[in-house]
Chains A and B, each alone.
Chain A
Amino acid sequence: MFERFADDTRKIVGFAMDEARCSGDKRLGTDHLLLGALHDPGPAGLLGVTLDQARAAAARLDRTALASIGIDAHGFERVHMPSRGKKPPFSSGARSVMEGMLRYAMDQKSRQITTANLLLSLLDREEHDPAAVLLKELGVDRAGVRRRVLSS
Protein backbone atom coordinates (compact mmCIF):
# COMPACT_ATOMS: atom_id res chain seq x y z
CA MET A 1 0.00 0.00 0.00
CA PHE A 2 2.83 2.42 0.90
CA GLU A 3 4.03 2.53 -2.72
CA ARG A 4 0.70 4.16 -3.64
CA PHE A 5 1.20 7.00 -1.18
CA ALA A 6 1.63 10.43 -2.73
CA ASP A 7 4.94 12.04 -1.70
CA ASP A 8 3.35 14.36 0.86
CA THR A 9 1.35 11.49 2.39
CA ARG A 10 4.54 9.45 2.72
CA LYS A 11 6.28 12.38 4.42
CA ILE A 12 3.40 12.74 6.89
CA VAL A 13 3.81 9.11 7.94
CA GLY A 14 7.53 9.81 8.48
CA PHE A 15 6.72 12.85 10.62
CA ALA A 16 4.18 10.76 12.55
CA MET A 17 6.95 8.25 13.29
CA ASP A 18 9.14 11.10 14.61
CA GLU A 19 6.26 12.36 16.78
CA ALA A 20 5.78 8.88 18.28
CA ARG A 21 9.49 8.49 19.03
CA CYS A 22 9.93 11.98 20.46
CA SER A 23 7.03 11.59 22.84
CA GLY A 24 8.38 8.24 24.07
CA ASP A 25 5.42 6.22 22.79
CA LYS A 26 5.82 2.56 21.97
CA ARG A 27 3.27 2.63 19.15
CA LEU A 28 2.59 4.97 16.28
CA GLY A 29 -0.98 6.03 17.08
CA THR A 30 -3.71 7.94 15.29
CA ASP A 31 -2.76 11.03 17.33
CA HIS A 32 0.76 10.84 15.86
CA LEU A 33 -0.72 10.63 12.36
CA LEU A 34 -2.67 13.80 13.14
CA LEU A 35 0.47 15.56 14.45
CA GLY A 36 2.36 14.27 11.40
CA ALA A 37 -0.30 15.76 9.09
CA LEU A 38 0.08 19.13 10.83
CA HIS A 39 3.72 19.30 9.69
CA ASP A 40 2.21 19.95 6.25
CA PRO A 41 0.70 23.43 5.74
CA GLY A 42 -2.11 21.99 3.57
CA PRO A 43 -3.78 19.82 6.23
CA ALA A 44 -2.90 22.37 8.94
CA GLY A 45 -4.82 25.03 7.01
CA LEU A 46 -7.81 22.74 6.47
CA LEU A 47 -7.91 21.81 10.16
CA GLY A 48 -7.31 25.41 11.25
CA VAL A 49 -4.73 24.46 13.87
CA THR A 50 -0.95 24.60 14.04
CA LEU A 51 1.45 21.83 14.98
CA ASP A 52 2.49 23.75 18.09
CA GLN A 53 -1.13 24.15 19.21
CA ALA A 54 -1.73 20.41 18.75
CA ARG A 55 1.43 19.42 20.63
CA ALA A 56 0.47 21.79 23.44
CA ALA A 57 -3.04 20.29 23.56
CA ALA A 58 -1.60 16.75 23.77
CA ALA A 59 0.73 17.83 26.59
CA ARG A 60 -2.23 19.48 28.37
CA LEU A 61 -4.26 16.25 28.17
CA ASP A 62 -1.30 14.35 29.64
CA ARG A 63 -0.76 16.85 32.47
CA THR A 64 -4.45 16.82 33.38
CA ALA A 65 -4.54 13.01 33.39
CA LEU A 66 -1.37 12.81 35.51
CA ALA A 67 -2.76 15.38 37.94
CA SER A 68 -5.83 13.16 38.36
CA ILE A 69 -3.61 10.41 39.80
CA GLY A 70 -1.71 12.84 42.01
CA ILE A 71 1.30 13.51 39.78
CA ASP A 72 2.31 17.07 39.11
CA ALA A 73 4.19 17.18 35.80
CA HIS A 74 4.01 20.94 35.42
CA GLY A 75 7.29 22.47 34.37
CA PHE A 76 8.71 19.21 33.04
CA GLU A 77 10.42 20.07 29.78
CA ARG A 78 10.45 17.59 26.93
CA VAL A 79 13.91 16.18 26.34
CA HIS A 80 15.60 15.10 23.16
CA MET A 81 14.81 11.42 22.64
CA PRO A 82 17.24 9.00 21.03
CA SER A 83 16.53 8.29 17.37
CA ARG A 84 18.04 4.81 17.61
CA GLY A 85 16.22 1.67 18.50
CA LYS A 86 13.38 0.03 16.70
CA LYS A 87 10.66 1.98 14.97
CA PRO A 88 7.40 1.99 16.90
CA PRO A 89 4.87 -0.29 15.17
CA PHE A 90 1.45 1.04 14.13
CA SER A 91 -1.33 0.84 16.70
CA SER A 92 -4.43 -1.02 15.52
CA GLY A 93 -6.22 2.34 15.25
CA ALA A 94 -3.44 3.70 13.03
CA ARG A 95 -3.72 0.59 10.83
CA SER A 96 -7.47 1.26 10.55
CA VAL A 97 -6.70 4.81 9.44
CA MET A 98 -4.42 3.39 6.72
CA GLU A 99 -7.20 1.08 5.54
CA GLY A 100 -9.67 3.99 5.55
CA MET A 101 -7.31 6.07 3.42
CA LEU A 102 -7.09 3.27 0.90
CA ARG A 103 -10.90 3.02 0.76
CA TYR A 104 -11.26 6.76 0.17
CA ALA A 105 -8.67 6.60 -2.62
CA MET A 106 -10.46 3.63 -4.22
CA ASP A 107 -13.83 5.40 -3.99
CA GLN A 108 -12.32 8.29 -5.93
CA LYS A 109 -10.72 5.81 -8.37
CA SER A 110 -7.47 7.57 -7.51
CA ARG A 111 -4.19 5.76 -8.09
CA GLN A 112 -2.55 7.76 -5.34
CA ILE A 113 -3.37 7.98 -1.66
CA THR A 114 -3.50 11.69 -0.89
CA THR A 115 -3.37 13.83 2.25
CA ALA A 116 -7.11 14.50 1.74
CA ASN A 117 -7.72 10.74 2.00
CA LEU A 118 -5.64 10.70 5.19
CA LEU A 119 -7.57 13.60 6.72
CA LEU A 120 -10.97 12.08 5.90
CA SER A 121 -9.89 8.79 7.44
CA LEU A 122 -8.65 10.56 10.59
CA LEU A 123 -11.94 12.49 10.83
CA ASP A 124 -13.78 9.14 10.87
CA ARG A 125 -12.20 8.13 14.18
CA GLU A 126 -14.73 7.74 16.93
CA GLU A 127 -14.96 8.50 20.64
CA HIS A 128 -11.96 7.43 22.77
CA ASP A 129 -9.64 7.30 19.77
CA PRO A 130 -6.48 9.35 20.54
CA ALA A 131 -6.79 11.48 17.36
CA ALA A 132 -10.49 12.11 18.03
CA VAL A 133 -9.66 13.12 21.63
CA LEU A 134 -6.98 15.51 20.38
CA LEU A 135 -9.31 17.05 17.76
CA LYS A 136 -11.90 17.57 20.49
CA GLU A 137 -9.36 19.17 22.83
CA LEU A 138 -8.38 21.50 19.97
CA GLY A 139 -12.03 22.41 19.40
CA VAL A 140 -11.87 21.36 15.75
CA ASP A 141 -15.25 21.34 13.99
CA ARG A 142 -14.96 17.93 12.36
CA ALA A 143 -18.00 18.28 10.08
CA GLY A 144 -16.74 21.66 8.89
CA VAL A 145 -13.27 20.30 8.15
CA ARG A 146 -14.79 17.35 6.28
CA ARG A 147 -16.73 19.77 4.05
CA ARG A 148 -13.61 21.84 3.41
CA VAL A 149 -11.57 18.72 2.56
CA LEU A 150 -14.23 17.41 0.18
CA SER A 151 -14.49 20.76 -1.60
CA SER A 152 -10.74 21.40 -1.78
Chain B
Amino acid sequence: METDDLSAHIHSLDPAVGLRAVGALHRLAEQVEAAQVRAARQQGWTWEQIGDALGVSRQSVHAKYRE
Protein backbone atom coordinates (compact mmCIF):
# COMPACT_ATOMS: atom_id res chain seq x y z
CA MET B 1 0.00 0.00 0.00
CA GLU B 2 1.37 3.43 -0.97
CA THR B 3 1.76 6.00 1.82
CA ASP B 4 -0.90 8.32 0.41
CA ASP B 5 -3.29 5.43 0.01
CA LEU B 6 -2.69 4.29 3.57
CA SER B 7 -3.25 7.79 4.94
CA ALA B 8 -6.55 8.14 3.06
CA HIS B 9 -7.48 4.62 4.05
CA ILE B 10 -6.85 5.28 7.78
CA HIS B 11 -9.14 8.32 7.67
CA SER B 12 -11.91 6.19 6.21
CA LEU B 13 -11.56 3.32 8.69
CA ASP B 14 -14.42 2.14 10.83
CA PRO B 15 -13.54 3.37 14.35
CA ALA B 16 -14.25 -0.12 15.71
CA VAL B 17 -11.34 -1.38 13.60
CA GLY B 18 -9.18 1.74 13.87
CA LEU B 19 -9.40 1.95 17.67
CA ARG B 20 -8.73 -1.78 17.93
CA ALA B 21 -5.63 -1.20 15.79
CA VAL B 22 -4.38 1.44 18.26
CA GLY B 23 -4.83 -0.98 21.16
CA ALA B 24 -3.12 -3.72 19.15
CA LEU B 25 -0.20 -1.37 18.41
CA HIS B 26 0.25 -0.72 22.15
CA ARG B 27 0.19 -4.44 22.85
CA LEU B 28 2.61 -5.16 20.01
CA ALA B 29 4.96 -2.40 21.24
CA GLU B 30 4.99 -3.89 24.75
CA GLN B 31 5.73 -7.34 23.37
CA VAL B 32 8.56 -6.10 21.13
CA GLU B 33 9.96 -4.04 24.02
CA ALA B 34 10.00 -7.05 26.38
CA ALA B 35 11.75 -9.23 23.80
CA GLN B 36 14.31 -6.57 22.87
CA VAL B 37 15.13 -5.47 26.43
CA ARG B 38 15.83 -9.13 27.24
CA ALA B 39 18.04 -9.48 24.14
CA ALA B 40 19.92 -6.27 24.94
CA ARG B 41 20.59 -7.38 28.54
CA GLN B 42 21.90 -10.72 27.26
CA GLN B 43 24.25 -8.81 24.96
CA GLY B 44 25.57 -6.75 27.86
CA TRP B 45 23.70 -3.45 27.41
CA THR B 46 23.41 -1.42 30.62
CA TRP B 47 20.01 -0.32 31.94
CA GLU B 48 21.05 3.25 31.14
CA GLN B 49 21.79 2.41 27.50
CA ILE B 50 18.46 0.58 27.15
CA GLY B 51 16.56 3.42 28.83
CA ASP B 52 18.19 5.97 26.52
CA ALA B 53 17.37 3.88 23.45
CA LEU B 54 13.72 3.66 24.55
CA GLY B 55 13.53 7.31 25.61
CA VAL B 56 12.69 6.45 29.21
CA SER B 57 14.64 6.63 32.46
CA ARG B 58 17.11 3.95 33.50
CA GLN B 59 15.09 3.51 36.69
CA SER B 60 11.79 2.85 34.95
CA VAL B 61 13.19 0.26 32.56
CA HIS B 62 15.07 -1.43 35.43
CA ALA B 63 11.98 -1.51 37.66
CA LYS B 64 9.96 -3.11 34.87
CA TYR B 65 12.43 -5.70 33.59
CA ARG B 66 14.94 -6.59 36.32
CA GLU B 67 15.08 -10.35 36.82
Contact = CB atoms under 8 A, between A and B. Distances in A.
Given A24-B29, A81-B30, A69 B65 contact: no
B10 A26 contact: no
A25 B26 contact: yes
B34 A84 contact: no
Interface residues of B, number: 26
B53 interface: no
Interface string B42-65: 000000000000000000000111
A23 B30 CA distance: 8
Interface in B2-26: 6, 9-10, 13, 16-18, 20-21, 23-26
Nearest to B65: A82
A78 interface: yes
A73 interface: yes
29 contacts: A23-B30, A24-B26, A24-B30, A24-B31, A25-B23, A25-B26, A25-B30, A26-B26, A62-B24, A62-B27, A63-B24, A65-B18, A65-B23, A65-B24, A69-B6, A69-B9, A69-B10, A69-B21, A71-B21, A71-B25, A73-B24, A78-B31, A79-B31, A79-B38, A80-B34, A81-B34, A84-B63, A85-B63, A133-B20
Interface of B: 1, 6, 9-10, 13, 16-18, 20-21, 23-31, 34-35, 38, 63-66
